[in-house]
Amino acid sequence: MPDVIGAKPRPSQEQAPPPTDPVETGPLPSGAADPEASSPGAATPLPEASRYRPVNPLWELTLARIREFVREPEAVFWVFVFPVLLAIALGIAFRDTGPQKVQVAVEAGGPRGLGSGSGRLMEWLEGRPDIEVLLLSPEEAARALRTGRVSLVLQRDQSEALATGNPEAGETVSALPALPELGSEGLVYRYDPTRPDSRVARLVVDDALQRGMGREDVARVRDEAVAQPGARYIDFLIPGLVGLNLMGSGMWGLGFAVVQARTRKLLKLLAATPMRRTHFLLSFMLSRLIFLALEVVAVIGFGWIAFGVSVHGSILDLGVISLVGSMSFAGLGLLVAARPRTIEGVSGLMNLVMLPMWLLSGTFFAAGRFPEFWQPVIQALPLTALNDALRANINEGLPLASSLPDVLVMAAWGSVSFLLALRWFRWQ
């Protein structure tokens, strides 16, 4: 019998191992239980087990990422449950309950209270379906206005403001012609004009009182109410939540996993293997694809079932937009995690990168509200691009071509940050 192991422990592969040969050549002492049964490198029939075909390294690395993620309950919560909870909370806060009533307080008692003179005035206000009136003491009224419980407080005017037209400091004062009930005195609307709800309240209350006193409309007008899904706040919100979720899970998911592997010296060990570095980083991006679909479906499905938010555009286009957006944040996540050695370090960087986008990228309110000269920066952010593209698809039903600039912005962020991450990645 030829002596294979001893005579030539490292066969001819020593110089150049054939790339496709799955047969082992190294001096591994296989078959501990029965050393004769399987001699590595033997020309005799190979042990059955060595017919094992290894899978592609990229797939195996990706699989490891996915397994690690799904076996971490906290991560699953943040990715799937949290955005749904957020949608529930915001959906309830901004639910449709018909036209909203303006909340108004009438001050009773105190030097500026309306007292007995308020009888007819209260009648006029309560007679309107769009006004809710509260009769409050001066202290209560001040507090209610401060905390936003009411939008406006009605008081008796005791100052000379009516005569002089000189409003009290810090207050906006308006006056009515004297009511018979009030003698010669007028009324004060006390409100903050920078609050939209207060300005509406002022208009509505003033209208009610003026009409009560007999004002006639001059022009003939007719209201036509429009209330179809697609224009509500929740319709605006759901695509934003999808975008926000793709950013958060992409960046946190990858950032933490990378830095944890670094602190555990797993990256260093991998750097000592023939693993291709692009494979390693790509495995992180690919693992995101698996969750991407689930994340998008979770939030959109919830919005549809709970609030009737429907997708007006093509589902395929929506898939493409989500995919590009997700890859963009996966790249950014890898870049942020490329250098830090500690979880604390990467957390700080993550927040630094994500916080501006939380605020500026139009998740909870339109990005257009920010000043004009910020817009070039805001529009260049990947989350703005993703949110805009998602809304164009979900709310407006526009084709993908109309969101091409947004898709290009996201693709640029993804590929540039991936390449930079590859270049700057710290393995030790």
Partner 1 sequence: MPVTASSQPANSSGEVALSCASLVKRYGEVVAVAGIDLEVRMGECFGLLGPNGAGKTTTVEIFEGLTIPDSGRVEVLGQGWGEGDDRSLRERLAVQLQETQFAERLTVVETIAMFRSLYRRGWDPDEVIRLVELEEKRDARVGKLSGGQKQRLAIACALVTAPEVLFLDEPTTGLDPQAKLKLWDLIEKFRSRGGTILLTTHYMEEAARLCDRVAIMDHGKVIALDTPNALVESLGADQIVELSLEGFVGNERFSRLPGVRGVRSRNGNYLLTVSSVAEALPALLAEVEIQGARLVGMTTHTATLEDVFVNLTGRKLRDA
- Return all residues near 226 (Cβ < 8 A) that are at least 6 apart: none
For partner 1, the binding residue among 12, 17, 148, 377 (CB under 8 A) is: 17
CB of 424 to partner 1, least distance (A): 17
* Stretch of 101-109, 209-217, 267-275, 304-312 contacting partner 1, by CB under 8 A: 267-275
Q: How far apart are CA 180 and CA 187, in angstroms?
A: 12
Question: How does DSSP assign 193-218, residue by residue?
Answer: TTSHHHHHHHHHHHHHHHHHTT----
Query: Cα–Cα distances in Å, from 44 out to 5, 9, 40, 50, 357?
Result: 12, 15, 10, 13, 64
Q: How far apart are CA 15 and CA 25, in angstroms?
A: 12
* Stretch of 6-14, 118-126, 170-178, 382-390 contacting partner 1, by CB under 8 A: 6-14
Nearer to partner 1, 211 or 279 (CB): 279
Determine if residue 159 is left, alpha or beta; phi over 0 gives left, psi from -120 to 50 gives alpha, anything else beta: beta
* Stretch of 111-119, 126-134, 271-279, 393-401 contacting partner 1, by CB under 8 A: 271-279
Pairing of strands 102-107, 131-136: parallel
For partner 1, the binding residue among 114, 153, 204, 261 (CB under 8 A) is: 261
372 interacts with partner 1 by CB under 8 A: no
Q: In what order do the strands lie in the sheet with 187-190?
A: 131-136, 102-107, 152-156, 187-190
What is the pattern of x (binds partner 1, CB under 8 A) and - over residues 24-43?
A: xxxxxxxxxx-xx-xxx-x-
135 interacts with partner 1 by CB under 8 A: no
Q: Among all chains, which residue has been given the structure tokens 């799937």?
A: 80
CB of 337 to partner 1, least distance (A): 16
Nearer to partner 1, 68 or 132 (CB): 68
Q: Where do runs of H (alpha helix) occur along 94-232? A: 119-126, 138-146, 161-164, 196-212
341 interacts with partner 1 by CB under 8 A: no
CB of 24 to partner 1, least distance (A): 4
**Tokens (6 digits) for 142:** 């001040």
- Are 106 and 137 within 8 A, CB to CB? no
Nearer to partner 1, 63 or 200 (CB): 63
What is the pattern of x (binds partner 1, CB under 8 A) and - over residues 66-105?
A: -xx--xx---------------------------------
In the complex, the residues that contact partner 1 under the rule CB under 8 A are 1-7, 9-10, 13-14, 16-17, 19-33, 35-36, 38-40, 42, 47, 49-52, 54-57, 59-61, 63-64, 67-68, 71-72, 261, 264-266, 268-276, 428
